[in-house]
Amino acid sequence: MTEFIVVTSGKGGVGKTTTSASIAVGLARRGKKVAVIDFDIGLRNLDLIMGCERRVVYDFVNVIHGECTLKQALIKDKRIDTLHVLAASQTRDKDALTKEGVEKVLNELRDEGFDYVICDSPAGIERGAFLAMYFADRAVVVVNPEVSSVRDSDRILGLLASKTRRAELGAAPVETHLLLTRYNPVRVADGEMMSIDDVKDILGLDVLGVVPESEGVLSASNSGVPVILDDEASAGQAYEDAVARLLGEQRPMRFLDVPKKGFLARMFGG
């Protein structure tokens, strides 16, 4: 059984691609056969985050148009055998993606025996975002503890409940999960940032994981190594926990508390 998972958010810059890359790696590391697809037509970026930008020959739209086979377009990850990347096209043609075309590619991935297909959605609610979520079985909604991101996430939750194939067929709804990113426990403690409970309450959904704001994320994207592969980074560990929970494991949330301060810092409130 192939599971289609969309990583979406509505708002841009909250960490969808970072999350897609890390979830894909986390699943593939467990021996699952995984494909991760960039739906951001015209603004390809997943290849950079995955570190395979120089190996893109054919892309998603080439496959849809029959200009190459799916096999030719899938880029095999150099670190993990079971992981494959399908890059977005850099075309400016907004109508390059069609529902039929996307369905054809997803069906082929299913027939090839992939366990998971991660669909990395573009920001917004236009065609790319709509098609990334349309065939989903599950959704990971990436949200920052910040007003515009939370509001946009709620809008996306509404679309997941009404504009997907599952909704149209009257099948079981898309299983949705929240993933909080850029979480800063110090600012939460100071009352400058909404807490995990605030976001959970407002959106009425359980949280799959909380990824702390971490220097590791930038250095990971700088070097094209998904942050989950950085065992030192708190963000990497948080993604590892989230993947485990996605597979049904129970794990306590980490990185929610303010790091303990030293004596001097406590005296002077540093």
Partner 1 sequence: MGIFDFLRARNTSTATVARERLRIIVAQERSQRGAPDYLPLLRRELLEVIRKYVSVEQDAVDIHVERDGEHDVLELSVALPDRSAPAHVA
Using CB under 8 A as the criterion, which residues of the chain lie in contact with partner 1 when the complex forms?
146-147, 150-151, 154-155, 158, 162, 188, 190-195, 198, 201-203, 265-270
Minimum distance from residue 202 beta carbon to partner 1 (Å)? 5
Beta bridge partners of 34: 83, 116
Minimum distance from residue 124 beta carbon to partner 1 (Å)? 17
Read off the tokens for 88.
């977005």
Minimum distance from residue 156 beta carbon to partner 1 (Å)? 12
Smaller CB distance to partner 1: residue 52 or 156?
A: 156
51 residue type, one letter: G
Smaller CB distance to partner 1: residue 76 or 155?
A: 155
Smaller CB distance to partner 1: residue 112 or 154?
A: 154
Smaller CB distance to partner 1: residue 108 or 154?
A: 154
Minimum distance from residue 264 beta carbon to partner 1 (Å)? 10
d(CA 129, CA 97): 11
Smaller CB distance to partner 1: residue 67 or 190?
A: 190
CB environment 87-96: b (16+ within 10 A), e (fewer): bbbeeeeeeb
Contact residues for 214 (Cβ-Cβ < 8 A; gap 6+): 227, 233, 234, 235
DSSP 253: -
Minimum distance from residue 205 beta carbon to partner 1 (Å)? 12
Minimum distance from residue 144 beta carbon to partner 1 (Å)? 12
Smaller CB distance to partner 1: residue 115 or 146?
A: 146
Query: Residue 168's CB: how many other CB atoms inside 10 A?
Result: 10
**What DSSP letter does each residue of 188-255 carry, written as one string?**
HHTTSS--HHHHHHHHT--EEEEEE--HHHHHHHHHT--GGG-TTSHHHHHHHHHHHHHTT------S
Smaller CB distance to partner 1: residue 93 or 201?
A: 201
CA 178 to chain centre: 11
**What DSSP letter does each residue of 99-132 carry, written as one string?**
HHHHHHHHHHHHHTT-SEEEEEPPSSSSHHHHHH
Q: Is 84 helix (H, G, I), strand (E, B) or coil?
A: strand
Minimum distance from residue 98 beta carbon to partner 1 (Å)? 22
